[in-house]
Structure 1
Amino acid sequence: MLRRTGVHVVKHALQDGFDRKISYLRIAVTDKCNFRCVYCMPADGVPPRAHGELLSAEEIARFVRLVAGEGITRVRLTGGEPLVSHRIIPLIEEIRAIPQIEDISLTTNGVLLPRFVSQLKEAGLDRVNISLDTLDPVQFSKITRLGRLEQTLAGIDAALEYGFDPVKVNCVVVRRLNQDVFGMARLSIDRPVHVRFIEYMPIGSDENRGFCAADAGENPDGELCPEQWDASDTVPSSELRQIIDAAASAAGVGGLEPVDNALLPDGAGPARYWRFPGAAGTVGFISAMSNHFCSSCNRMRLTADGSIRPCLFSDAEYHVREALRSGDDARVVEIFRDAVAHKPQEHEVIEGTERFMSQIGG
């Protein structure tokens, strides 16, 4: 039976108005982070929120139970940095106990992985994505403002040691940062890591991204100035692959080869994967800007303060916190279905959003 909600006709709750089946939920456990990455949040962090403004672990788990009944089978925990939340372990345990949930993953900067990796594994976490944008220690410090490269590298080592599979390394590429992308790609040769290059996305508006005031990419003190970045700083995946291939050939490594579908890492999602000859891991490209994958997007997002967000690049949100707190499960499901029904066909070409990436749970 067809159900009409707003502007779209929906066949059932977990199939949107464009026949995409929605099975994947990304949850921002917190909007706080122990880094201040320049493309993600301002130097002082996001404005502090009162404790009551954020969903509790129990409320998040209840939301997952309800939407699992609607067809959600995969959950990714993000932030901010999810490992700064004291509730992350019990939350994973609660989600793991939901029969319909087949896969639980986590995105992290890796700093706290050595401390928590065994607990995460025991709680039922399936896999991890680790953010790493450069192997240059100085550049790493500038991008993260608070981080040290060796911390994140130790997190990758810990994830591999405890058998997480796959271990993915996410690298956001910004043209004016001039990152050594071939150096990053080489991480996949000797170890079973899957390095994914993500096109820079203009999340956060010019007004709320006032990180520094300069006329170029860095101010006199060396701080990077992302409010100066624009669409020209997006490096298309096709260009990135050419850069890596050329450097690989010069180094005698051999160019990237397509990966057979049988060898793709779990949760491959929108990335397109390649590998160096004989490599233990793969190299992936996520073309969010140059080659939209909207037609196959199967995800919804839950922000830390309790809003459902159908699209990363749209400011449309559906507020579910009060329904959760009132115990009105039917209303929670109704709001979720409405959000799914209004998932846009594709994202627009934009220059910024109202929220920072750390608040959305990118």
Structure 2
Amino acid sequence: MAKVKDRLKRPLRDLRISVIDRCNFRCQYCMPAEIYGPDFVFLPKSELLSYEEIERLAQIFVELGVEKIRLTGGEPLLRKDLPYLVKLLSRIEHLKDIGLTTNGVLLPKYAKELQAAGLKRVNISLDSLKDELFGQINGRNVGVGPVLKGIKAAQEAGLGVKINMVVKKGLNDSEIIPMAQYCKDNHLQLRYIEFMDVGSSNGWKMDDVVTKKEIYDILREHYSLVPVDPDYYGEVAKRYRHQGTDIDVGFITSVSESFCSSCTRSRLSADGKIYTCLFNGNGHDLRDFMRSGVNDRQLAERICEVWNGRDDRYSDLRTAETVANRKKIEMSYIGG
């Protein structure tokens, strides 16, 4: 497999694995009601990758250089027996980190079991600390209480916790400082994410974006922040630290400061397709190819072929025309 890895033209370090297709379950906490109504049809279980298939593909990705895996969704904690998958992945040699993106609601039930299985950290979405506003954002009128309980459960279980806040102008930009203070007080790492045009259902407009510079300028009026060097090539977040602490504040700047040229992240959907970019709606099938009986080397060669053919530069080239006309995959399908 080493010779196959040598064929990669650019590093492949980070793999996001969606374990649930569009959630694949009706969940009052995570799926937009206007999209996932009572008549929405989800994929049958046979079309989803099994845990053993995910393990096999993850092993190959690691042999090709992946060091970090994050499980996403939908809401991945709704997938039955998820700790079992974490345990399978934790046995993969040379895999350094296993994380999970979640809304946090089910962490009081699963955090300890996940940590025992080998999970290292969780990324929890929290766009406001106000019940009414948070309910408006999630479209389900669910308040912040269940999420805050999930954060506490994750910390008590010994998991690293990172908070993701998508900032949209005129909606929750007034929450920038309250969120920073909450995370500082509770020893939580925070990531501000510029409002992005992922998928085609969030009504994105450039006028709604609060840029990293704008958020940073607001924060500097209240806090002393010092820049932090990247931990590795291709690290997406631009990080700062509250002076005198080990608490980070980071920015995901896909809109204002793109990072296409250094991207080392691939995505694997729940139904077994590789996506080379969050803004690319064209997936490359691995599930049917794998189920046809090919060996691991053939799978590795197929992954290399897809990755070497990657020419995504959407964030570098974003215009009003590309926003309107480019086919993109929904965030709820492929995760962040």
Give the TM-score category using the shorter length: 0.7 to 0.9
1:361 aligns with 2:328: no
2:262 to 273, 282, 296: 296
May I ask how many residue pairs the two structures share in their alignment? 319
- Residue range with higher mean Cα deviation, 338-347 or 290-299: 338-347
Q: Report the equivalent of 2:224.
A: 256
Distance 1:88 1:353, change over 3 A: farther
Q: State TM-score, norm by structure 2.
A: 0.87
Aligned residues: CA RMSD: 2.5
| Larger helix percent | 2
Q: TM-score, normalised by structure 1?
A: 0.81
Deviations along 1:41-68, one digit per CA (max 9) or x if unpaired, are 8252864112212111111111111222
Per-residue CA distance 1:6-39 (angstroms, 9 max, x = gap) = xxxx9834x33xxx3112111011130633455x
The residue that corresponds to 1:22 in the other structure is 12
Partner of 2:272: 306
Which 5+ residue runs of structure 2 have no aligned equivalent?
A: none
Matched residue type, 2:334: I
For residue 276 of structure 1, report the CA deviation from its aligned partner: 3.3
User: Which stretch of structure 1 is more off in the superposition, 295-304 or 42-51?
Assistant: 42-51
- Give the drift of 1:334: 2.3
Residue 253 of structure 2 is matched in structure 1 by 287
Structure 1: distance between partners of 2:298 and 2:234: 33
TM-aligned CA deviation for residue 164 of structure 1: 1.5
1:148 partner letter: G
Q: Residues 148 and 267 (structure 1 numbering): CA distance in 2 closer, same or farther, change over 3 Å?
A: farther
Shift in Å at residue 87 of structure 1?
Answer: 3.3
**Corresponding residue of 1:332:** 299
Residue by residue over 1:227-274, the C-alpha shift from the partner in whole angstroms, topping out at 9 and shown as x without a partner, is: 3x412212110011112233x2xxxxxx3311444xx78999311222
Listed one character per residue, the Cα deviations across residues 89-148 of structure 1 (whole Å, up to 9, x for unaligned) are 111111111112111111111001110011101100011111111111101111112332
> Per the alignment, in what secondary structure is the counterpart of residue 156 of structure 1?
helix
1:126 aligns with 2:127: no
- Map of 2:215 onto structure 1: 240
1:310-361 CA deviation, whole Å, 9 max, x = no partner?
Answer: 1111223210111222231333222211111012252241426442111122
Tell whether 2:151 aligns with 1:156.
Answer: yes
* Contact 1:191–1:280 (8 Å) recurs in 2: no
Determine the structure 1 residue equivalent to 2:74. 80
The percent of aligned pairs where both chains have the same amino acid is 35
What residue ranges of structure 1 are gaps of 5+ in the alignment? 4-9, 210-225, 249-254
Please state if 1:195 is matched with 2:178. no
Equivalent residue, structure 2, for 1:7 = none
**Local SS of the residue matching 1:76:** strand
